[in-house]
Amino acid sequence: MKSSWLACGFVFPLGLLLATSVAAAESEPRTIPEAAQLLPPTVVAYAQIPDLSATATELLDHPLRQRVEALPAYGALRESEGFGKLSDAVAAFEASLGMPWRDALSGLTSGGIHFALDRSTEGVALLIRADNSATLERFRGFVLGLAQMTTGRIGPLEQGQYRGITAQAINANLKMAQLDDWLLVTNKSELGKRILDQYLDGGDDNLASSPKFRQACASIADVSAWGWVDVQAFRDAGIAPRLYEGKTDNPLAEVLAGGILSELQHTPFAVATINVDQDGVAVNATSPHRRQWQTGREYFFGTQSDVAPPLLHPPDRLFAASLHRDLSQMWLRSGDLMTEKANEGLAKADTQLTTFFSGRDFGEDILGSLRPDIQLVVTVQDFQHRQPQPAIKLPAFALKFQMKDPERTRPEFRRVFQSFIGFLNVVGAMDGQPQFDLGSVQLDSATLITATYVPQVGQEESTEAPINFNFSPTLGFAGPTLVLSSTTELAHRLVQTVEPPAPVAVESDANTAAILNGETLKRVLEQNRAQLVAQNMLEKGHAPAQAEAEIGTLLDLVSLLRDARVSLIVDDDQLRLSAAVRVDSESQE
Amino acid sequence: MNSLESVDPQWAWQPFQPSADQPWDRRGAAHLYRRAGFGADVSQLDRAAQLDPAEAVAQLVAQNQETSEFRTVADALAKTVLAGGDPMTLSAAWVYRLLLTPTQLLEKATLFWHGHFATGADKVKDASMMWQQNRLLRQQALGNFSELVQAIAKDPAMLIYLDSASNRKAHPNENFARELMELFCLGEGHYSEQDVQELARCFTGWEIKNDRFRKNRYQHDNGVKRLLGKEGAFDGEAAVEIVIDQPSMPLFLCRKWFRFFVCDEPAPPDKLLMPLAETFRDRGYDIAPVLQKLFSSNLFFSSLSVGRKIKSPVESLVGTLRSLQGTTNTELLARGLRDIGQGLFYPPNVKGWDGGRAWINSSTLLGRANLFQQVLNDSNTAFAGNSLQEYLGDQGIETPQQALQQWETRLLPHPLPSPVRSRLLQSFASGNSAEDGGFRDLLHQFVSLPECQLG
């Protein structure tokens, strides 16, 4: 079941994996956790680690372990004082429990680790269920000994009785009690008493009886950890009110996450799951969703059939994102979606952009001429044969749109692009910046309007050229496709390449999807290694060798990353935000 | 001896001979390193104290070029940050150099020349040109003044700063000509307005093209000029030589060095400076022999010098860190130095920093204290790679009393007054922590003391 769930956790799995994961989630709903029967119904947030031992095994026996241990930084860590203290603590733990720590951990947490936040007492509780009370008793002794050491107290710690059960104070804030094979730690006596009452008396007045909680549990499959939040309770209590206002300060934030703000305004609860396995870590956050909550943000959600276009997949891809967003609608409805301050800025921008586009309304005519499919891609540039070469080497990036009426809007975009480059030349000339040379390239079925920086005399073969030489802004047209790229090379690729059926393309029903590639990220960092070392020296005052070592460690860690993915899927009943970080278990580098 | 008027010039510049009253010890070595550099840690002070004063000075002066190993690292760092094109980052690269250079006098003299030939990045805007000028100042910092002025007269950053990037014979630009005489070589009263106009004619045709200096012979005024009593068809190089050969030039420079290295006030009488000026002239305007004479002298180690200067922000912050083998976030420090009035590459105007009492007012004093706090609280700040408490522990310092005693020797010109010491110890005792945080608080209070603003 775990492998099936995993597929569900990743952002862009193949349809087959997606289908199996959904099937798993539907066919094997998780039972209500026993700890929920001990917790009061006023709990507003709950989290569980069902099998800590299995998660620890997954990490400690990971195929990457040898590569991590071979890193110089790991060697340094083992030599550090902190690692020494940790080793001492583990030795003390094993001595107290009388067994190796992994066995002890397995026994102590066999019934799971549970956290709860209670609204009525404003307290938090930690419940751990062991496979037997004797092991738990030894662990309790270990914790009490540790508490005595850290507080510097000699003799027994402060303790109290409630209905025959003894609770000890670990420190000024926390109290601990053992209930057979359960261990309870809480910061509020009142919450502790309610849990003890429930343990001793039983009854249905508990979290497990909450319909919202039961509904959430039904969607949980086999996971490393999961949590549930009663969003409605937080909303009603007025906690973090700005989260529920449904308005943003920042247009970019609105484009990326406006729909989630709508969701937070209405959804009763949210569930998050975390899964750790040999592929990496996957996080899924879901919440119930209703179409009527989308009112005002149709630009974000679209209709049911509107999903993001596939992720672009040119060679040397570093990052790609695809979104379904009707930018024209967002621009026109910004008064309802964004704060007053943001709207002031947008109003100014609207006036200026309308002037720039010869009086055509920017929101209605210009953005309105584009379909709500946005594709962004970032690629690593190859500077090997380029002259001049910039000292700081940046990736290339491009946006790809589809025009609704290409014949009508193509001349408009071409003219504005050329005007804008002319404007940059005038401004740049005043600051002594290099100048652009405008040009155009006619391909079989595409046209590129290019702008290339002209190097200064004597700088044509420089390998330390200014940062400007990363860019050759280009506008590309190919049928209805419009490409705005930071370099001619990338634009060339995007207007000519027929997108292959990418094996890790966006989930077919995703509203938003993004992917970051680890291998290309490392190449970008390698290209700028000297800059990173210099920055490290300046920021930390390090000597070159020390800075080199730190940057080397950073690159080693990045080399462990295969990719990171995010997606947002919206359907009639549910909104699902997924994120996954996959590690490169196979590479021997 | 409170007045410089009554000081015997012969005594003043005689080599300092330690005595029972004025021993040559860690405290004396610390004074030398504070003035001829930025500060030294205990081991450096001990090594210097084992030499005699003249030998210690000779060692500092002999380091008139950076070691190739350090220069390679520091130049590579500066060139790498130049790629970003931001002069403020270049400023951080200079702070890095100030904190770690093994050639302290060379770097201190570079800082002096930066204030003397003041050029601001806010006007030049080109980080690369500022870096070129900085390299020039460092190369010539302890070299020959005549060569330095000839080079600075062709320096792109300087010419842009003084609006001489395009000097045409139809409209000679007088800015550089005026500052060359008034601020760089002679001082007011040693030239006339006509000299300014004639000198400007000599520089016509000097211009910057593609970020490089060049002479445009079509724009040079080949006519005869009358400059400072001489007549001829002088070009720029010949004009600079005429200016430098003026009798008032050595005294003008020695007065500036005296104020920068010896004491802020009162102004020294000409007769006191004459022996130094004669050395400067006799040695063909070489800088190092003058500074060697100055730092080895009776006057330099006398009460007329010790504690008679207000530390500049760079001297205060960099000096404290160097004395404790400190390293930190140099970008933070460079920004902070600019905020409190001494941004490297950002002098306030062509006159440079006024120095002396101008460094101190209620605002800048508070600014210094705040910057010290920022630096000490920054997670990147380390002392020989450790926390302050660990660093002190490695030197056998466990108590606040011991810490104050050590800092007093390294950072203060005079012993700490007892009431101040008691107040600091009381504050330490009432603090929450006797660990690293407690020692950092103690150091912050110490370096914020008025006594610690004196060099």
Q: Per the CB < 8 Å rule, is A466 touching B328?
A: no
Mean pLDDT, range B3-20, rounded to an integer: 93
Min distance A538 CA to chain B CA atoms (Å): 5
Q: List the domain range (segments joined by +) for residue B387.
A: 313-453
| CA A99/CA A105 separation, integer angstroms | 10
The string of pLDDT tens digits covering residues B43-65 is 999 999 999 999 999 999 999 88
pLDDT at B84 over 60: yes
Handedness of CA B28, B29, B32, B37 (dihedral sign): negative
Q: Per the CB < 8 Å rule, is B210 touching A456?
A: yes
Return the H-helix or E-strand segment holding A29: none
The residues facing B226 across adjacent strands are B231
Nearest to A492 by CA among A458, A445, A525, A530: A445
Sequence spans of domains, chain A:
49-206, 292-583
Contact predicate A302/A372, CB 8 Å: yes
Q: Per the CB < 8 Å rule, is B330 touching A541?
A: yes
DSSP at A543: -
Nearest to B444 by CA among B432, B426, B428: B428
User: B79 to chain A: nearest residue by CA?
Assistant: A464
The answer to whether residue A464 neighbours chain B at the CB level (below 8 Å) is yes
Residues of chain A contacting B92 with CB distance shorter than 8 Å: 538
The answer to whether residue B209 neighbours chain A at the CB level (below 8 Å) is no
Q: Per the CB < 8 Å rule, is A538 touching B96?
A: yes
Min distance B214 CA to chain A CA atoms (Å): 15
In degrees rounded to 5, what are phi and psi of residue A477?
Answer: -125, 130
The answer to whether residue B126 neighbours chain A at the CB level (below 8 Å) is yes
Min distance B386 CA to chain A CA atoms (Å): 12
User: B327 to chain A: nearest residue by CA?
Assistant: A541
Q: Which of A17-26, A459-468, B77-86, B93-102 reaches the highest mean pLDDT?
A: B93-102
Burial class, A8, CB count within 10 angstroms (exposed 0-12 / middle 13-18 / buried 19+): buried
| CA A392/CA A386 separation, integer angstroms | 13
| CA B193/CA B224 separation, integer angstroms | 17
User: A536 to chain B: nearest residue by CA?
Assistant: B329
Q: Which two tokens stand for residue A252?
A: 């970019």
Query: pLDDT at position A305, please?
Result: 62
Measured in whole angstroms, how far is the alpha carbon of residue B140 from the centre of its chain? 14
- Asked, for residue B54, whether it belongs to a domain, the answer is no
| CA B187/CA B249 separation, integer angstroms | 8
> Hey, what amino acid is at B35?
R
Q: Which two tokens stand for residue A142?
A: 């270990």
- Asked, for residue B397, whether it belongs to a domain, the answer is yes
The answer to whether residue B384 neighbours chain A at the CB level (below 8 Å) is no
Query: pLDDT at position B169, please?
Result: 93
Q: Which residue has the tokens 């006023």?
A: A42
Neighbours of B209 (CB within 10 A): 12
Contact predicate B177/B243, CB 8 Å: no
Contact predicate B48/B27, CB 8 Å: no
Task: Considering only the beta carbons, identify the residue of B210, B330, B381 that sits closest to A457.
Answer: B210
The answer to whether residue A454 neighbours chain B at the CB level (below 8 Å) is no
> Hey, what amino acid is at A304?
Q
Residues of chain B contacting A537 with CB distance shorter than 8 Å: 77, 96
| CA B32/CA B315 separation, integer angstroms | 13
| CA A275/CA A225 separation, integer angstroms | 7
Burial class, B89, CB count within 10 angstroms (exposed 0-12 / middle 13-18 / buried 19+): buried
Return the H-helix or E-strand segment holding A398: strand A396-402
- Give the DSSP per-residue string, B186-208: S-TTSS-HHHHHHHHHHTTTEEE
The answer to whether residue B380 neighbours chain A at the CB level (below 8 Å) is yes
More confident residue, B35 or A461: B35
Ranges of beta strands (E only) in A357-395 are 373-379
Q: Per the CB < 8 Å rule, is B85 touching A390?
A: no
Task: Give the CB-side neighbour count of residue B434, counting CA atoms within 13 A.
Answer: 10
Q: What is the total count of domains within chain B?
A: 1
Burial class, A572, CB count within 10 angstroms (exposed 0-12 / middle 13-18 / buried 19+): exposed
Contact predicate A219/A528, CB 8 Å: no
| CA A262/CA B311 separation, integer angstroms | 59
Residues of chain A contacting B380 with CB distance shorter than 8 Å: 539-541
Chain A and chain B share a number of CB contacts under 8 A equal to 63
Ordered per-residue pLDDT tens for chain A, 589 residues: 333 333 333 333 333 333 333 333 333 444 677 899 999 999 999 999 999 999 999 888 888 888 888 888 888 888 888 888 899 989 999 999 999 999 999 999 999 999 999 999 999 999 999 999 999 999 999 998 888 887 776 677 788 899 999 999 988 899 999 999 999 999 999 999 999 999 999 888 999 999 989 988 887 888 999 999 999 999 998 888 888 888 888 899 999 988 988 899 999 999 999 999 989 999 999 999 988 888 888 888 887 667 899 999 999 999 999 999 999 999 999 988 999 999 999 999 999 888 888 888 999 999 999 999 999 999 999 998 888 999 899 999 999 999 999 999 999 899 999 999 999 999 988 877 889 999 999 998 899 999 999 998 888 888 888 899 999 999 999 999 999 999 999 999 999 865 544 544 445 689 999 999 999 999 999 999 999 999 999 999 999 999 999 999 999 999 999 999 999 998 888 999 999 999 987 765 5
Q: Which two tokens stand for residue B39?
A: 């500060």
The string of pLDDT tens digits covering residues B144-167 is 999 999 999 999 999 999 998 878
Q: Per the CB < 8 Å rule, is B85 touching A540?
A: no
pLDDT at B240 over 90: yes
Q: Per the CB < 8 Å rule, is A541 touching B327?
A: yes
Q: Per the CB < 8 Å rule, is B85 touching A467?
A: yes
The answer to whether residue B81 neighbours chain A at the CB level (below 8 Å) is yes
Q: Which two tokens stand for residue B367?
A: 């600014």
| CA B340/CA B371 separation, integer angstroms | 8
Query: pLDDT at position A248, please?
Result: 87
Query: pLDDT at position A497, please?
Result: 65
Contact predicate A110/A34, CB 8 Å: no
Q: Which two tokens stand for residue A200?
A: 């001793």
| CA B281/CA B81 separation, integer angstroms | 40
The answer to whether residue A392 neighbours chain B at the CB level (below 8 Å) is yes
Query: pLDDT at position A482, please?
Result: 96
Query: pLDDT at position A14, please?
Result: 30
Ranges of beta strands (E only) in A187-263 are 225-229
Query: pLDDT at position A69, please?
Result: 86
Residues of chain B contacting A80 with CB distance shorter than 8 Å: none
Contact predicate A566/B357, CB 8 Å: no
Query: pLDDT at position B166, please?
Result: 79
Contact predicate B219/B386, CB 8 Å: no
Nearest to B412 by CA among B118, B103, B31: B31
| CA A229/CA A248 separation, integer angstroms | 23
Query: pLDDT at position B81, please?
Result: 87
| CA B230/CA B223 separation, integer angstroms | 14
Q: What is the 3-state secondary structure (H, E, C) of B373-408?
A: HHHHHCCCCEECCECHHHHHHHCCCCCHHHHHHHHH
3-class SS of residue A406:
helix
Q: Which two tokens stand for residue A567?
A: 């997606």
What was the ipTM of the complex prediction?
Answer: 0.87
3-class SS of residue B51:
coil
- Asked, for residue B48, whether it belongs to a domain, the answer is no
Query: pLDDT at position A432, please?
Result: 77
Task: Considering only the beta carbons, identify the residue of B83, B99, B327 that sits closest to A531.
Answer: B83
Give Dmax over CA atoms of chain B in angstroms: 77
Residues, chain B, total?
455
| CA A227/CA A217 separation, integer angstroms | 10
User: Cα separations (Å) of A282 from A2, A3, A27, B404?
Assistant: 12, 12, 21, 54
Query: pLDDT at position A304, please?
Result: 66
| CA A350/CA A359 separation, integer angstroms | 11
- Asked, for residue B194, whether it belongs to a domain, the answer is no
